[in-house]
Amino acid sequence: MTVNERIAMLRQYMAEKNIDVYVISSADFHQSEYVGAYFRARAYMTGFNGSAGTAVITKDAAGLWTDGRYFIQAEKELSGSEVKLFKMEQPGVPTVEEYLDSVLPKNGTLGFDGRSISVQQGNNYAKLFAYKNVKIAYEYDLVDLVWTDRPALSEHPVFFLEEKYTGESTSSKLSRVREIMKQVGATAHVLITLDDIAWMLNIRGRDVRFTPVVLSYAIVMMNCVHLFINEKKLSDEIKSILAKDNVILHPYNDIYDFVKQFDSNEVVLYDPARLNYALCSNIPTNVKVVENQNPCILMKAIKNDVEIANIKNAHIKDGVAHSKFLYWLKNTVDKEVITEIDASDKLEELRAEQEGFLWPSFGSISAAGPHAAMPHYGATPESNSVIEPGNFYLSDTGGNYWEGSTDITRTYAVGEVSDELKRDYTLVLKGNLALSASRFLYGCTGQNLDVLARQFLWQEGKDYNHGTGHGVGYLLSIHENAARFNWKKLEESMRPLEAGMVISNEPGLYIEDSHGIRIENEVLVCKGEKTNFGQFMYLEPITYAPIDLDAIDPTLLRDDEKLLLNEYHQKVYDLVSPHLTEEEKIFLQKYTRAI
């Protein structure tokens, strides 16, 4: 079927249900950052494959809204179909809401699959068009009727994470969640976010590419947990483990009917930013609700001692892979042709050799020369470049280990690079060192500290257009945003940094068509001394991989900065060298030498 044929069929179903306008989002039912193949309904209906976009289908028009990252791709992929591209935030281009307002008739009906729309978004639609008495039909997944060869929902088996990895039993986590439920007067807590459910129940899966989560919904009651999941995914062993904590199993989609049956005595806690519109709408109006952030978000962000020890081990493994990689790169690049994909394959291979490695924690960014100026570049067979001397090679990769998820970026000088490139590299490095070395009063946020990482670039009128850091999950989401380093006002950048949080420290610099730099270490937030002036906190870098000394201009580093770099490199050598060959050790010694 062509896209136009799909749309024509969708319009028939819209007519059957008396729906005037139908919206198709890019989301799954769980507000996930990455979604499985089953959930790519918007891509199926429009032909546009980018990760972000919203489609609107009316009786006689079809539109696709996406942002600047995707204009070129969308134009290409939409050509030949009736779908019109709406370039978001361009002058004169209406927003989705403005467009809906212009096409929705009085007393009309707006339809969407309410499972793929957030509560805020759904409420916003309902409120915006109330003035012309527009009805909301959120119950129909019309794309499902058109998409006859839709991929099945993932049935990947669930595995259990033992206490030697998690440091805390499911029952302990549940009792902490229930403690908070009591504090806010709730008797039931509805959870749809996959990483929160996985963390709380100490289960993992592979239903989403990279992120080891399990497609499921959960409702925590005071004496049991209702888990909505395809039972095929659960071995008898897992079932018996879950049963110990009184986890009651239900079919995946049954939660929508289940919440309709809530007794009017229940008080339901949910996070309005992390619930879908259908689920929220199905809770009977006579049931009292408490809207609050999911208690699991802060709990899972604060790693316990067992997790911290494990995470450090995972980072040593990452450091070993990176040291071997650097050895290979520096010794091979002038002898053989190495492409971006060759290099990321090599690094993945070296990581895969590490004990306890499962799979990558996100899609590798492997970018040579000017490609590195695109912060989110992903090499494809078409774009795949050779790593050439005289520029940088940027590698942003991560691993999922039993002992946690990692995220590390290194930028390497290939051959000799110019003084200008070294200067840029050193400015980025100075920011990374300054943030890592910061000490601060308890209560400080990522918004307070971000300037430390940017100050040297800002002095020269330069900047990087992304946050300085994001939280990292434990064998979970690589972007676990309970806290961030970002000077802008965001919920997460305004949260006090708590001991046990693991956050990335990744300043960069991107010069279009020329070069790109990013240096990323993860840092652990630690409790420092308590003085007369208050409780002090500090950051400990827990990524252990050499920062390429060939790329640095040492004359731009102050003595205290050299000391920080040298201390860091000494630690890298001490932790990593025992796992290397003699030859690699000598190499690493050189690349972690004091400067």
Q: Which is nearer to its own copies, 189 or 495 (CB)?
A: 495
In the block, residue with structure tokens 């959930």: 39
CB proximity list for 66: less than 8 A, separation 6 or greater:
48, 50, 52, 53, 54, 74, 85, 86, 87, 88
Interaction residues for its own copies, span 423-452 (CB under 8 A):
438-441, 443-444, 447-452
Torsion, CA 157, CA 40, CA 31, CA 379, rounded to 10: 90
Pairing of strands 515-518, 508-511: antiparallel
The reply on whether position 293 binds its own copies by CB under 8 A is no
Pick between residue 264 and residue 531 the one whose CB is nearest to its own copies: 531
Q: Does 380 engage in binding with its own copies (CB under 8 A)? A: no
Q: Does 489 bind its own copies (CB under 8 A)?
A: yes
Kindly state the smallest distance separating residue 533's Cβ from its own copies, in Å: 4
CA–CA separation, 488 and 465 (whole Å): 11
- Contact flag: residue 459 with its own copies (CB under 8 A): yes
| Closer CB to its own copies, 494 or 575, in the complex | 494
Question: What residues from 303 to 322 belong to the interface with its own copies (CB under 8 A)?
Answer: none
Does 284 sit near its own copies (CB under 8 A)? Answer: no
Burial class (CB in 10 A: 0-12, 13-18, 19+), 100: buried
Six-digit token pair at 463? 């900047």
Question: Which residues 27-56 are close enough to bind its own copies by CB under 8 A?
Answer: none
Q: Could you say which residues in the range 514-573 bind its own copies, by CB under 8 A? A: 528-529, 531-534, 536, 558
Q: CA nearest 208: which of 159, 154, 158, 276?
A: 154
Residue 483 in contact with residue 446, Cβ under 8 Å? yes
Interface residue with its own copies among 102, 264, 265, 465 (CB under 8 A) is 465
Which of these, 322, 308, 398, 392, lies nearest to 592 by C-alpha position?
322
What does the alpha-carbon distance between residue 360 and residue 356 come to, in Å, rounded to a whole number? 12
Task: Rule CB under 8 A: choose which of 463, 491, 567, 583 binds its own copies.
Answer: 463
Q: Does 372 bind its own copies (CB under 8 A)?
A: no
User: What is the closest distance, in whole angstroms, from the C-beta atom of residue 562 to its own copies in the complex?
Assistant: 13
CB of 181 to its own copies, least distance (A): 26
Residue closer to its own copies, measured from CB, 407 or 450: 450
Q: How far is the CB of 537 from its own copies (least distance, A)?
A: 9
Kindly write down the DSSP assignment for every residue of 533-585, as one continuous string.
TEEEEEEEE-------GGG--GGGS-HHHHHHHHHHHHHHHHHHGGGS-HHHH
Nearer to its own copies, 84 or 558 (CB): 558
Residue 306 or 441 having the CB closest to its own copies: 441
Report which DSSP code applies to 250.
E
Kindly determine how many residues on this chain lie close enough to bind its own copies according to the rule CB under 8 A: 33
Q: Which residues bind its own copies (CB under 8 A)?
A: 438-441, 443-444, 447-452, 454-455, 458-459, 461-463, 465, 487-489, 494, 512, 528-529, 531-534, 536, 558
